[in-house]
């Protein structure tokens, strides 16, 4: 064969031959057509530059650049490389190993929240005692002709509280309970991807806000009467109650996050390429989804929960001035 014989090269399959007939036969093979279809789909989805990545970490804008590099690359794949033919059962076991410890942590967190519920009654009793003490002081002040301004302030607060109760118990008497609201949320695979892409706080906030925004104001199970203090009223068990310390809201957030995380198996089944070494984008997306979706279990100081509550409060807030004037519309 002449040294300078013309070579025919298929970039898609990394196939080289000196015979045109062999090259034409190759173009008709199932392997070539399958590879061509897959690469066409990948090229449509790719939006970022540097799409072609070698196992050594170097990236190239063109496939030819990657092909030339691989001829010289001496990178050795680690022994713990994933088997591309890993069975679904083995992947499921890996998933359980990864997520189960986080679920256990969440269960412990829920137990802690339950213990905090016991303190709720004590706080309510303490509030009643303080109110009684304040009433006694006001009575004495009236007798002595003092602190009229304080009396007016207390009267204004009482008027607002009365207006809140009227709004909730009259106009919002048919509102959905918070428990039912959580159960009616249709958790989609896109919600998982949002949590992975936006992060836990913004992803879960988006899930709440989208479902609350689609409801009539008077049908919502949550209302905020003071944005600064994040004062929330929750509908449950056919009655409206003030959510002291946002205890019920935190439980609801954890429940929604947990329900959303249950779709990870479905997402994995719908995206089998996530465990392929060559699929860097899907693999990273999968790891982001798992990491962010389960981060509620490690929110020990409640900062992430506070941010979500603030985001939700902005959407369900009630105008206090309109409450006092009785002009609040449903």
The answer as to whether 51 is a domain residue is no
Residue 33: which domain range?
1-40
Q: Do 319 and 188 share a structural domain?
A: yes
The answer as to whether 189 is a domain residue is yes
Q: Do 304 and 166 share a structural domain?
A: no
Q: Do 152 and 265 share a structural domain?
A: no
Q: Do 183 and 160 share a structural domain?
A: no
Q: Do 252 and 216 share a structural domain?
A: yes
The Cα-based distances of 55 to 35, 81, 127 in angstroms read: 19, 11, 64
The answer as to whether 58 is a domain residue is no
CB atoms within 10 A of CB 263: 18
The answer as to whether 290 is a domain residue is yes
User: What is the distance in angstroms between the CA of the first residue and the CA of the last residue of the chain?
Assistant: 87
Q: Do 233 and 215 share a structural domain?
A: yes
Spatial separation of the C-alpha atoms in residues 271 and 45, rounded to whole Å: 14
Number of domains composing the chain: 3
Q: Do 184 and 141 share a structural domain?
A: no
The answer as to whether 74 is a domain residue is no
Note down pLDDT in tens along the chain; length 330 residues: 555 667 788 888 888 888 888 888 888 888 888 888 887 776 665 544 546 778 777 787 788 887 888 888 876 655 544 555 555 666 567 667 777 777 787 788 788 787 777 766 766 776 677 677 777 776 776 666 555 444 444 444 445 565 788 888 888 999 999 999 999 999 999 999 999 999 999 999 999 999 999 999 999 999 998 888 888 999 999 999 999 999 999 999 999 999 999 999 999 999 888 777 666 788 889 999 999 998 877 777 789 999 999 999 999 998 766 665 555 544
Q: Do 207 and 191 share a structural domain?
A: yes
Amino acid 3: pLDDT: 55
Q: Do 290 and 197 share a structural domain?
A: yes
The answer as to whether 17 is a domain residue is yes
The answer as to whether 310 is a domain residue is yes
The answer as to whether 66 is a domain residue is no
CB 289 within 8 A of CB 196: yes
- Alpha helix locations (H) across 178-300? 178-184, 189-198, 200-213, 247-261, 264-270, 280-293
CB 67 within 8 A of CB 44: no
Q: Do 137 and 192 share a structural domain?
A: no
Q: Do 297 and 286 share a structural domain?
A: yes
Q: Do 298 and 188 share a structural domain?
A: yes
């Amino acid at each position: 064969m002449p040294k300078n014989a013309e070579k025919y090269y298929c970039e898609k399959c990394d196939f080289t031959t000196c015979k045109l007939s062999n090259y034409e036969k190759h173009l008709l093979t199932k392997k070539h057509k399958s590879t061509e279809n897959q690469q066409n789909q990948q090229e449509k989805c790719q939006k970022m530059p540097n799409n072609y990545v070698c196992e050594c970490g170097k990236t190239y804008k063109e496939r030819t650049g990657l092909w030339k590099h691989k001829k010289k690359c001496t990178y050795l794949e680690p022994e713990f490389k994933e088997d591309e033919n890993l069975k679904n059962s083995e992947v499921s076991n890996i998933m359980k190993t990864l997520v189960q410890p986080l679920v256990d942590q969440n269960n412990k967190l829920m137990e802690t929240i339950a213990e905090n519920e016991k303190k709720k009654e004590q706080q309510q009793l303490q509030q009643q005692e303080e109110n009684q003490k304040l009433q006694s002081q006001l009575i004495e002040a009236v007798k002595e002709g003092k602190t009229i301004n304080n009396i007016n302030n207390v009267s204004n607060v009482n008027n607002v509280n009365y207006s809140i109760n009227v709004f909730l118990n009259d106009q919002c008497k048919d509102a959905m309970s918070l428990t039912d609201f959580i159960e009616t949320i249709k958790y989609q695979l896109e919600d998982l991807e949002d949590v992975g892409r936006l992060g836990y706080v913004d992803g879960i906030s988006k899930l709440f806000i989208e479902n609350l925004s689609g409801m009539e104001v008077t049908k919502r199970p949550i209302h905020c009467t003071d944005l600064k203090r994040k004062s929330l009223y929750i509908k449950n068990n056919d009655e409206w109650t003030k959510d002291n310390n946002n205890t019920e809201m935190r439980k609801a957030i954890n429940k929604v996050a947990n329900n959303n995380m249950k779709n990870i198996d479905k997402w994995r089944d719908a995206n089998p390429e996530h465990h392929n070494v060559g699929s860097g984008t899907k693999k990273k997306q999968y790891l982001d989804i798992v990491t962010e979706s389960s981060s509620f279990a490690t929110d020990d100081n409640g900062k992430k929960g506070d941010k979500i509550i603030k985001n939700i409060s902005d959407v369900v807030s009630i105008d206090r001035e309109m409450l006092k004037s009785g002009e609040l519309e449903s």
